[in-house]
Structure 1
């Protein structure tokens, strides 16, 4: 198993401790990870902020700590609404293109992308066609750099396992594969083992984070009772303490032929608090969990 750490974990985005990129690379090495996935936005590796000389410094840090760059994680929404004269799709493709270029320069192999958040002003078939078309063009551009795109099952469109399987088939590009994760199917009530078996051959990376669910209720004084409120409150915890069956999910991926990166992320408030010590503890617990498999 190849284990990686996602730099979003140390980006300080949820009040958590923050590390800049080079200290983060050192931290990942100290924690025993083999690779890093770098967040392609501020405060980490934004294309706006890094020229070739700065990329060389990052490459030197990767080499010094014997750390493989897995790739960059883009933050796109291919259904982002804008006025008709604004080339919002071109802007996003230019961003992804730059991330592919930087990934290639740094010796990485993939770029994580999303689909899009659902819109009420655009018929669903049009949304689907738009995402398919943009993934096709981005895949062709990524191929020029020798990069694969990992489409994460995160945003609304094609978030279901059957849907993302169909989406990738319609995109039809050899270098556009899945970044298939367990937490979304778990929260939506899918069968994790069946999903992993179906997606294993198309998956090149999986990002892991475990969670506990806490049901929510609203009190009604007139009936002296409660009604259930959806959705549940969810909070991140260690791999060992969470409710997602990652042992079964990972084993099903492996049985189906998956041989990609297992990347750990801490991308929401954590049980245990926002300190650097808690982040490090959770990352070490991920490594211990993976060794136990």
Structure 2
């Protein structure tokens, strides 16, 4: 297993210091990460991203970094077929970018909780859209790795159902260790359900918000306040998951995705160091 860092871990720094993807790659090299996870939201010119991608590929080679995954910010839970087709096209475009970047994994979402739409009412849209995307993914041999993200399809049983209904060897899971806490599911139990379907891992952790704490955090579906932490300082049993991945002979990437309130550069560096110790 190799350790990666998601560019999203540095989101506060990216905004504050106006980082480009190239700036992020220099940081990843400094902290001795094996690879990087890149996102569609960070291209400077989204209408002409391939010129920037050429520069990024050169920097990846210079820094001896691999791309663990390319992340698409999609949402298949849209009420009109035209809107859903736009989301499908985002994923198809992402497959082209992933090929350029040399990764065979695209992180995708299912959809967001909105306008009274539930998982039950939206899952047919999700499955149908993923089936369309899977046709191209299979042709290009790119995995579509569904993240347990948000409150609509964040439970392991929902991710399992979607994967099984799409029924493609190229539609699997991005296992986000922390996000299960947002839907009041323990990461250990979620791992036991999904462990054979994982092709990408986000290492993230949360702790419960203290009663008098005024900082902004997250809220679970049962109203529990959560604050992002450096992995190992929260509620996620990281050793259980790493040992479990070894047990199923997982040989893919473990990618840090920090979403806490500490300095992002310091916290992400510490997270990478801790994960490398766990893996080794």
2:224 is paired with a residue whose SS is strand
Partner SS, residue 116 of structure 1: coil
Tell whether the 8 Å contact from 2:150 to 2:179 is kept in structure 1 after alignment: no
Q: CA deviation at 1:20?
A: 0.8
Q: Distance in 2 between matches of 1:46 and 1:34?
A: 27
Corresponding residue for residue 211 of structure 1: 206
1:240 aligns with 232
Report if aligned partners of 1:201, 1:257 keep a CA contact under 8 Å in 2: no
Hey, what's the Cα distance between the residues in 1 that align with 2:119 and 2:52? Answer: 42
Are 1:193 and 1:249, in contact at CA under 8 Å, matched by a contact in 2? Answer: yes
Q: Which residue in 2 is equivalent to 1:263?
A: 255
- How many residue pairs get aligned? The number is 270
| Post-superposition CA distance 1:192-247 (Å, at most 9, x none) | 32321221111011112222211548xxxxxxxxxxxx623322222232232222
User: Match for residue 48 of structure 1?
Assistant: 47
CA separation of 1:254 and 1:186: change in aligned 2, threshold 3 A: farther
| Equivalent position of 1:224 in the other structure | none
Q: Is the 8 A contact 2:74 2:108 kept in 1?
A: yes
TM-score scaled by structure 2?
A: 0.86
**Shift of residue 25, structure 1, vs aligned partner:** 0.9
Shift of 1:174: 0.7
Q: CA deviation at 1:132?
A: 0.6
Please list every run of 5 or more consecutive structure 2 residues that lacks an aligned counterpart in the other structure.
213-221
**Residues 183 and 45 (structure 1 numbering): CA distance in 2 closer, same or farther, change over 3 Å?**
farther
Alignment match, 1:183: 178
**Whole-Å Cα distance in 2 between the matches of residues 2 and 93 of structure 1?**
30
Alignment-derived partner of residue 23 in structure 1: 23
Question: Which residue does 1:79 correspond to in 2?
Answer: 77
For the residues of structure 1 that align with 2:248 and 2:44, how far apart are their CA atoms? 33
Structure 1 residue 153 and structure 2 residue 151: aligned? no
Instruction: Report deviation, 1:123.
Output: 7.3
Q: Do residues 64 (structure 1) and 85 (structure 2) align?
A: no
CA drift at 1:121 = 5.7
1:279 matches 2:264: yes
User: By how many angstroms is 1:179 displaced?
Assistant: 0.3
Report the CA distance between 1:46 and its aligned residue: 6.3
Name the CA shift for 1:34/1:152 in 2 (closer, same or farther; >3 Å).
same
Which structure: larger Rg? 1
What's 1:92 paired with? 87
Which one of the candidate residues 102, 105, 110 is aligned to 1:115?
Answer: 110
8 Å contact kept, 2:13–2:265: no
Q: Distance in 2 between matches of 1:126 and 1:236?
A: 30
Describe the SS at the equivalent of 1:50.
helix
The equivalent of 1:254 in structure 2 is 246
Kept in 2, the 8 Å contact 1:207–1:262? The answer is: yes
Matches of 1:145 and 1:17, distance apart in 2: 36
Give structure 1 stretches of 5+ with no counterpart: 218-229, 272-277
Alignment RMSD: 2.5
Contact kept in structure 2, 1:197 and 1:256, CA below 8 Å: no
Deviation at 1:173, TM superposition (A): 0.7
CA contact (8 A) 1:36 1:70 kept: yes
